[in-house]
Amino acid sequence: MLLHLKNIFKWVNSGGQRVFLLKDINLEVEEGEFISIMGPSGSGKSTLLNLIGMLDGFDEGEYTFLDEPVHTLKEKHRANLYKEYIGFVFQSYHLLDDLTVKENLEMPLLYKKYKGAERKAMVADMLDRFNIVGKKDLFPAQLSGGQQQLVGIARALISSPKLILADEPTGNLNSKQGEEIMELFKQLNNEGVTIIQVTHSEKNAAYGSRIINLLDGRMI
Ligand X SMILES: Nc1ncnc2c1ncn2[C@@H]1O[C@H](COP(=O)(O)OP(=O)(O)O)[C@@H](O)[C@H]1O
Interaction site with ligand X (CB under 6 A):
12, 21, 39, 41-47
Minimum separation from the CB atom of position 42 to Mg ion (A): 8
CA dihedral of 118, 105, 123, 88, whole degrees rounded to 10: 90
Nearer to ligand X by C-beta: 42 or 69?
42
CB of 3 closer than 8 Å to CB of 52: yes
47 or 100, CB closer to ligand X?
47
Beta-carbon contacts of 134 under 8 Å, excluding residues fewer than 6 positions away, are: none
Check if the beta carbon of residue 7 is closer than 8 Å to that of residue 219: no
Q: Are 81 and 65 in contact (CB under 8 A)?
A: yes
Q: Which of 119, 55, 117, 59 is nearest to 90 (CA)?
A: 55
* Helices assigned H by DSSP within the chain: 45-52, 75-85, 101-110, 116-129, 145-157, 175-190, 202-205
Partner that binds at residue 12, options ligand X, Mg ion, none, CB closer than 5 to 8 Å by kind: ligand X
Q: Which C-beta is closer to ligand X: that of 44 or that of 169?
A: 44
Angle at 68 between CA 63 and CA 69, to 5 degrees: 40
Q: Does 46 bind Mg ion (CB under 5 A)?
A: yes
Residue 161 binds which entry of Mg ion, ligand X, none, CB below 5-8 Å type-dependent: none
Nearer to ligand X, 45 or 102 (CB): 45
Give the nearer residue to ligand X in terms of CB position, either 12 or 96: 12
Q: Please, are residues 91 and 169 in contact by the beta-carbon 8 Å criterion?
A: yes
Task: Give me the least distance between CB of 185 and ligand X, in Å please.
Answer: 19
Partner from ligand X, Mg ion, none binding residue 44, C-beta < 5-8 Å depending on class: ligand X
Minimum CB distance to ligand X, residue 44 (Å): 4
199 binds Mg ion (CB under 5 A): no
Query: Which among ligand X, Mg ion, none contacts residue 69 (Cβ within 5 to 8 A by kind)?
Result: none
Interface residue list for Mg ion (CB under 5 A): 45-46
